[in-house]
Amino acid sequence: MSDITDLSFSELKKMLQKKSLSSTEITTAFLDRIESLNPELNTFITITRDEAMQSAKNADKAISRGTATAYTGIPIAHKDLFCTDGVLTTCGSKILSNFVAPYDAHVVSRCKAAGLVSLGKLNMDEFAMGSSNENSYFGPVRNPWDKTRVPGGSSGGSAAAVAAKLTPLATATDTGGSIRQPAAFTGTSGLKPTYGRVSRFGMIAYASSLDQGGLIAHTAEDLAHGLGLIAGHDSRDSTSAELPVPDYTEVLSDSLAGKVIGLPKQFFDANLNTAMRNAMDAVLDVLKSLGATTVEISLNHVAEAIPAYYVIAPAEASSNLSRFDGVRFGYRADKPTDVLDLYERSRSEGFGSEVKRRILIGTYALSEGYYDAYYKKAQQIRRLIRDDFNRALASCDLIFGPSTPSTAFGIGEKNSDPVSMYLEDIYTVATNLAGLPGGSFQAPLVNGLPTGYQLTGPAFGESIILNAAYQVQTATDWHRLNPGGL
């Protein structure tokens, strides 16, 4: 039998149901691996060993009594912006480095109700701002495939932890590509659901109209199981969709015959290098062999997605982050002379440089005299982008493209050039602006490093995405490739 940590979420589920393994055995194996590898990879900010072992023992009792759910006893780890009752919740920032959440985020409470065992909280770019996971107050996460490279961001801790087999499933969030880009960089599967499909209650906000909780795992099947657990209406989130949650696993085996895949000409132009193009062509060949056909489509305003996103997201961040003032919770500057000094020093000492940069950009964009020129214009572009996607999806079932323009870049390589860093999201941000579901799944390696292909579907069309990805994974072994040396 494979080592316990080699098993996927779906495989662990079967082993527990057959009682071939206990939750205590599984949890111990993952915690021991975390203890061994985390000092080098820096994927976890907080490891909840004692709580996890107690949860595993409780899970084993429930299984023996016959009161367990289908998922009782399987480990999970949470991105450190999901509030977790009684556990440090830092959002990767100094300003929250001492904040212990007094309640559970909706996603966390759903996972607890399903009987999952939480291993701890995962490292991330500060307040989810970044494309490399180098912006964390707790230091950068290292890519298990090459420890001199980034794992992507902001959910780099989630992606690296799954890739290194420190957890079989990880929660994550995606504001402009923060699930799909790290999934591509680490050879994992990641899904950003439709905006509103997963409640944002208890998820520390970056950009409220763009943030969406999701998952990173080894396979599309794992994601289908996980999404069924965390999706659904929540009255505490006014943007939560009041729609029934389907069984995402039911359609995984459906044939792709007759499915039409749209290929945006803007994603396959001269800017896509030859090696990445060849990797994408290999995936398309598999999709065609499975019965799908392709059609060229156009997303006419996708080139404006990056500038529109980097007006809208910072504008919303400047408002959301105003609550961190050193008064109510979190970091407080020593010996302030007055209230203004308390505010200024708590924020300037507590926030990192990228967060400060985005707050300044957002405040400027919302200021009198510039609101119409920047924020309002960006929202108009957003509507055009959404219309482009909806028009394209009227002629195809899914939109296909690369998840990233390249493989993972080196740690420190882009730190002095924020614009170059922002362009890492060139293929992903438009999906967020349109509010649509998107997933990244394993494609062939390029120069020994993972790549990912992206599938975007219609609103609440997660089942279509997972079906196509599952079929590709059934026909290939790209998702079974592992980083060496671990």
DSSP-assigned letters across all residues of 252-283: TT---TT-EEEEEGGGSSTTS-HHHHHHHHHH
Q: Which domain holds residue 337?
A: 305-379
Same domain? For 193 and 315 the reply is no
Same domain? For 153 and 91 the reply is yes
Question: Do strands 260-264 and 398-402 pair parallel, antiparallel, or not at all (unpaired)?
Answer: parallel
**What is the structure's pLDDT at 225?**
98
Same domain? For 65 and 206 the reply is yes
Count the alpha carbons within 13 Å of 179 in the hemisphere toward its beta carbon.
32
3-state secondary structure of 289: helix
Q: Name the domain count of the chain.
A: 2
Same domain? For 311 and 187 the reply is no
**What is the structure's pLDDT at 368?**
86
CB atoms within 10 A of CB 423: 15
**What is the structure's pLDDT at 2?**
59
**What is the structure's pLDDT at 446?**
97
**What is the structure's pLDDT at 1?**
38
The contacts of residue 244 (CB under 8 Å, 6+ apart) are none
Q: Percentage of the chain surpassing pLDDT 90?
A: 95
290 in a structural domain: no
18 in a structural domain: yes
Same domain? For 247 and 327 the reply is no
Same domain? For 214 and 89 the reply is yes
**Ranges in the chain, pLDDT < 70:** 1-2
The contacts of residue 61 (CB under 8 Å, 6+ apart) are none
Q: Which of the listed residues 331, 349, 379 is the one where a domain comes to its end?
A: 379
Q: Measuring CA to CA, which residue among 219, 248, 212, 162 is closest to residue 462? A: 248
267 in a structural domain: no
Residues noted as catalytic? 79, 154, 178
Q: What is the CATH number of the domain that holds 66?
A: 3.90.1300.10
Q: Could you say which DSSP state residue 95 is in?
A: G
62 in a structural domain: yes
Phi first, then psi: give them for residue 160, nearest 5 degrees.
-65, -35
230 in a structural domain: yes
The contacts of residue 99 (CB under 8 Å, 6+ apart) are 88, 89, 90, 329, 330
Same domain? For 338 and 225 the reply is no
Distances in whole angstroms, Cα of residue 27 to Cα of each of 79, 164, 169, 416: 18, 15, 13, 41
CA–CA separation, 84 vs 102, rounded Å?
7
Is 126:136 a contact under the CB 8 Å cutoff?
Answer: yes
339 in a structural domain: yes
Same domain? For 69 and 206 the reply is yes
282 in a structural domain: no
Same domain? For 221 and 104 the reply is yes
Same domain? For 17 and 136 the reply is yes
What's the angle, vertex CA 282, arms to CA 281 and CA 288, rounded to 5? 85
CA–CA separation, 309 vs 430, rounded Å?
8
Q: Which of the listed residues 253, 268, 288 is the one where a domain comes to its end?
A: 253
What letter represents residue 324's amino acid? F
153 in a structural domain: yes
Same domain? For 236 and 318 the reply is no
What's the angle, vertex CA 68, arms to CA 64 and CA 71, rounded to 5? 120
Q: Which of the listed residues 326, 361, 379 is the one where a domain comes to its end?
A: 379
CA–CA separation, 16 vs 30, rounded Å?
15
**What is the structure's pLDDT at 271?**
84
Is 443:453 a contact under the CB 8 Å cutoff?
Answer: yes
Q: Could you say which DSSP state residue 155 is in?
A: T
Residue 195, class by beta-carbon neighbours within 10 Å (0-12 exposed, 13-18 middle, 19+ buried)?
A: buried
Q: Measuring CA to CA, which residue among 441, 11, 401, 8 is closest to residue 188? A: 441
Same domain? For 223 and 78 the reply is yes
